[in-house]
Structure 1
Amino acid sequence: MATFNFTPSDPSTFILMGIPGLEAGHVWISIPFSISYIISLLGNITLLFVVGKEQTLHKPMYLLLCMLALTDLSTSTSIMPKALCTFWLNLKDITVGGCLTQMFFLHMVSFMQSAILVIMAFDRYVAICNPLRYATMITNAQIAKLGLIGLIRSVIFMFPLPLLLSRQPFCANRVIAQTHCEHMAVAKTSCGDITVNRMYSFFIVFVVIGFDLTLIALSYGLIMRAVLRISSKKSYQKALNTCTAHICVMLTSYGPGFLTSLTHRFGQGIAPHIHIILANLYILIPPILHPIIYGIKYKELRDKVGKYTCRR
């Protein structure tokens, strides 16, 4: 068999391998990837367009949906164009600056999405536990401020990642066995000590995301306590229905990431290309499902989407 030299000819570049072991099938693999990306673009752009055009949808809940749609678009767009270039054109080179920028943007947006899910949980808590104060406590301005705080938090926690990596001495053979620049995948190409990188990565995942999940669990614990006290069956079902969409979104957002982490920690017998495919599905699946979940759940949004898509 022919052998290939994957060492970058330019010392300022990395090589993104795509899915090692499945190079012969890259073109076929790109088909579901590109279809998924197009569906996520159509779904989220449609949601943003409809909410932006309809004054009746200018409410805190729909503002949160738009924020979530923006993070979904940003997450998939940060990796898919380069991944498709790798699959279709075999363009595997990426500059160090481009790689670190992609890594920062991808992780920053992911943490921003986690912050939005916390805000959504707080929104549902107020709607069910303090419904009479909802209109005064949850306003578009308040949601925008909380979103800005979440963005600032994400930038602050993610900014050290490219700084730490930029100080590392990278080996001559800077091959990244991935479709995109993920923090630890890039760190492993270094010839230096990456203990600090590992510790910081561990900190931001388990402390920051753990804090977000704790707040979400606390919110839903209080919600369930309030729901169980409702005597009217109709009101009980209505209260639960207001949370189902958010719970589904949380499962699609955190679930694939949790599964990916488990396979990395305990799936030593799993083929490397399976890990890479799972990591990509973790990024691609939520942007597809989120617009569908909210489109199905909220009749008002569904009707407004139909108003534009069903025009003659």
Structure 2
Amino acid sequence: MSRIRRSGEEGVTAVIVVLMMVVLIGAGAIAVDVGQIYAERGQLQNAADAGALAVADSCAKAPSCDPSLATPLANGNSLDGESTVSSVDTTSVAGQVTVTTTTKNAADHGPWLSKLFASALGNAPAVNVGATATVKLKYPTKGVTVLPLTFAPCEFQDDGLPHLIQVQSGTLKCTGLNPSNQVIPGGFGWLNPDSSTGCVVTAEVGQWSLTSAGGAVPNGCIDLFDPTKNPPLAGSTIALPVYKYTCAGMAGFSCTGSGVEYFIEKWAGFKIEAWNLTGQAKYDPLNKITSGKGIYGTFVGYAADPALFTNESSTPNGTVVVLGLIK
């Protein structure tokens, strides 16, 4: 016996199928669009982070910040190379840089995403996507000095010009006085490594650092100054401590020979261009150091590697900063 189909049932089934297809297509479109929005926001966040770090780095190196650096860095960190830097704020909060980025539509450069699947289902509105990044400039207090030395306060001249700074066992061009009215030698002094092996030297603002006596490079540190073993040093900018005074004449210190200590005041950025120290610890292609032992370079503003430092302060001090993304 053949079954007779009812046309009414077929019609209802067709309507249900069509409705379900619309629902499924709509759900799929929304899922795709949400994924696109999240992906766009991730790109914009990378763009804002890069722009804020670039502007903050310029704040560390010059008397004033350069907001124009944000746009090329933001675009370079977007997968499509397109973003809009809608604002760069360097003044609202001291020591902070905030960059806000928004979408740039490829068709008309407007601040919205228009190629959304949901728009095929009706008049879905364009979506505005944005991101914000804030970088805080922090001043390091405790960290590892790249080279085992500390500068005298009278040698710290942040004038943008190169200077010859000689080791304290030689002839010095400047001196000062400590709280005991004792002479503070100019030049630079060697710092004692943290252990008997290697050349890790930790210094901290407001604390005493022990000297490595004598005019020679401390044991275990000679390779740092050998241009054949450490070629990146020449022309590089590094963070080095500047002391405030020595312990000469102060109660509780022997302060002679290996007992000399330096009271660290701040960290300074130093672009090292030449040096003439001990044996193979020499690099002076332009003959900047014609007599004695010393190093030649320029004090500069510098954003240092955060991995070198464990403590920072928000109080401006020295010419070294550590950049940190806080949001």
Shorter-chain TM band: under 0.3
**More strand, by proportion:** 2
**More helix, by proportion:** 1
Larger CA Rg, structure 1 vs 2: 2
Per chain length, whose mean CA-contact separation is higher, i.e. which structure has more relative contact order (CA < 8 Å, sep 6+)? 1
TM-score, scaled to structure 2:
0.22
